[in-house]
Amino acid sequence: MTSFFGVQIGFVNAADGVPEVSRDVRAKVAIGKLQVQKQAALLYVKGMTCPSCAIGIRVKLSKLDFVDRDRFKRGIEMDCNNQLLTVALKDGTSPNWTRIEQEIDNAGYVAVEWFSMQKDELKSYPFLKVAE
Amino acid sequence: MASSVWFLMASLSADEPIMNMMPRWDDGWGYQFIEEYRHESDLLLGSRALHPGYTEDVHLLHFQSVYTWDKSIRLTAKLPYVLDARREMPDGSGGKRIEHDNGIGDATLALPLKKYFNLDGKSGSWTFKPMLRLPFSGTDDYEIYDNEWGNGLGLGYEYETAKFHVHVSTSGWVYHGNEPFESWSTLDLGYNFNAWGTNAALMWETDFHYEDNGSETLLAGPALYWNINDTAHFRIEWKHDFHDRQGVMDHGNGDVFKFSLGFVF
């Protein structure tokens, strides 16, 4: 865990290669997104750097029954600069993280961790394959 | 019949639908139309213009399709159609003889096997690609396509960051008839940017073609890719022959223009 501007950050080790975005920058962007987007899931997807190559993420995830396709672009917003993925959730639903991880894998990418804000702190939770 | 065949293989060998990128996801599929126009300025033997001003103009339409089973296994099929091809040849008495070709060309099947990697800020793949040429072309005044069976093998490496991408590949073909061995090598460099709410890429692409009859061509030029939406993708490119040497008498010193529209699902 790392402390960043007083925020506890629990990134898993994803800094193989030469990251274009530091963990601190990504955390700051993630906080901003979580403060603005309600009823949405926020993930770090490793390798999601090209919006065209990553279209499959939208193709796969938008078919999940808890995704609100009326928001964003078919329910999915891709921030390829920071490799952050936002999934709009239907009211009253919660994300099925196992399905999300599987579909991102089917699309050719790696779901590393998802984020939430708890008492103004950014918390991160590694996906199963990464945690193993 | 080697004449004019070499450059067409660029379309067939170097790039894969859709725009070399998609679909990366399993059970994805797509198709792509490429309109290609090429103008050759001279009739060459070696690097010398044996008949300057003897031109060749070729207008083609390529139909290409792709299906991705698993994200690491694709099957692609490419079928070209010669809308019109016209070339000027010496008639043996100091004048020009005009020859034409049109109709269906030779099809290519390929099985690109991809090994992807995902890093923090970078994603890419290695590609191993067996290929098969199917002789579908007919007989006209001259033939753009060989009408020969062929076997090819391609290797590639590419990676992409949010701002840049690099693509390197090489491929070789052997034919079952009289056509010489040929190879294509490519280096593509691209800069990614956002435009009108979508993403696009500006590229500089360099190709080198070699045939073991002594022919070699280096061509390069810019390309623009535009992601219209998740389904539709557009690309335009222009390449110029910077170095052209023909081992047998053939047209050269040309330019090629391509307009591509691809759909992916």
Write the CATH number for A109: 3.30.70.100
Nearest beta carbon to residue A21 from set B117, B121, B198: B121
* Residue B219 contacts residue B229 (beta carbons within 8 Å): no
Within an 8 Å CB–CB cutoff, is residue A26 touching chain B? no
For the stretch B127-153, pLDDT in tens is 999 999 999 988 888 888 989 999 999
For residues B206 and B104, what is the distance between their CA atoms, to the nearest angstrom?
A: 28
Min Cα distance A55 → chain B (Å) is 6
For the stretch A21-73, pLDDT in tens is 778 889 999 999 999 988 999 999 999 998 888 999 999 999 999 999 999 99
For residues B216 and B46, what is the distance between their CA atoms, to the nearest angstrom?
A: 9
Through-space distance between the first and last CA atoms of chain B, rounded to whole angstroms: 39
- Asked, for residue A7, whether it belongs to a domain, the answer is no
Number of domains forming the structure of chain A: 1
What pLDDT shows up at residue A20? 63
For residues B258 and B38, what is the distance between their CA atoms, to the nearest angstrom?
A: 9
Min Cα distance B165 → chain A (Å) is 9
How would you classify the pairing of strands B28-46 and A2-4? unpaired
- Asked, for residue A33, whether it belongs to a domain, the answer is yes
Q: Which residues of B touch A107 (CB under 8 A)?
A: 24-26, 71
Percent of chain B scored above 70 by pLDDT? 95
- Asked, for residue A8, whether it belongs to a domain, the answer is no
Task: Write out the E strands in chain B.
Answer: 28-46, 48-68, 74-90, 96-104, 107-110, 113-119, 122-134, 150-160, 164-175, 182-195, 198-211, 216-227, 232-264
- Asked, for residue A22, whether it belongs to a domain, the answer is yes
Which residue in chain A is spatially nearest to B25 when comparing CA positions? A107
Q: Which residues of A touch B21 (CB under 8 A)?
A: 50, 52-53
Min Cα distance A25 → chain B (Å) is 13
For the purposes of burial, counting CB atoms within 10 Å of the CB of A131, is it exposed (0-12), middle (13-18) or buried (19 or more)?
exposed
Nearest beta carbon to residue A56 from set B23, B118, B227: B23
Residue B90 has pLDDT above 70, yes or no: yes
For residues B19 and B224, what is the distance between their CA atoms, to the nearest angstrom?
A: 11
For the stretch B190-210, pLDDT in tens is 999 987 778 899 999 999 999
Residue A7 has pLDDT above 80, yes or no: no
Q: Which residue has the tokens 């070709």?
A: B101
The SS3 assignment for B5 reads coil
Nearest beta carbon to residue A108 from set B71, B192, B225: B71
Q: Which residues of A touch B164 (CB under 8 A)?
A: none
For residues B55 and A65, what is the distance between their CA atoms, to the nearest angstrom?
A: 60
Q: Which two tokens stand for residue A86?
A: 């936002």
Within an 8 Å CB–CB cutoff, is residue A13 touching chain B? no
Within an 8 Å CB–CB cutoff, is residue B205 touching chain A? no
Cβ pairs A/B, distance under 8 A: 101
With CB atoms and an 8 Å threshold, state whether B117 touches A47: yes
Interface subset of A 45-84, CB within 8 angstroms of B: 46-60, 73-74, 80-81, 83
For the stretch B238-265, pLDDT in tens is 999 999 999 999 999 999 999 999 999 9
- Asked, for residue A67, whether it belongs to a domain, the answer is yes
State the maximum Cα–Cα separation within chain A, in Å, rounded to a whole number: 39
How would you classify the pairing of strands A121-126 and A76-79? unpaired
What pLDDT shows up at residue A75? 96
What pLDDT shows up at residue A119? 84
Measuring CA to CA, how many Å separate B45 from each of B4, B38, B163, B218?
A: 13, 19, 43, 16
- Asked, for residue A73, whether it belongs to a domain, the answer is yes
With CB atoms and an 8 Å threshold, state whether B19 touches A19: no
What pLDDT shows up at residue A19? 56
**Residue among B18, B116, B123 with most chain A CBs within 10 A, to mutate:** B123
Give B200's contacts (C-beta < 8 A, 6+ positions apart): B192, B193, B194, B224, B225, B226, B227
Within an 8 Å CB–CB cutoff, is residue B25 touching chain A? yes
What pLDDT shows up at residue A132? 64
Percent of chain A scored above 90 by pLDDT? 67
- Asked, for residue A2, whether it belongs to a domain, the answer is no
Domain that holds residue A40: 17-131
For the stretch B102-114, pLDDT in tens is 999 999 999 999 9
- Asked, for residue A77, whether it belongs to a domain, the answer is yes
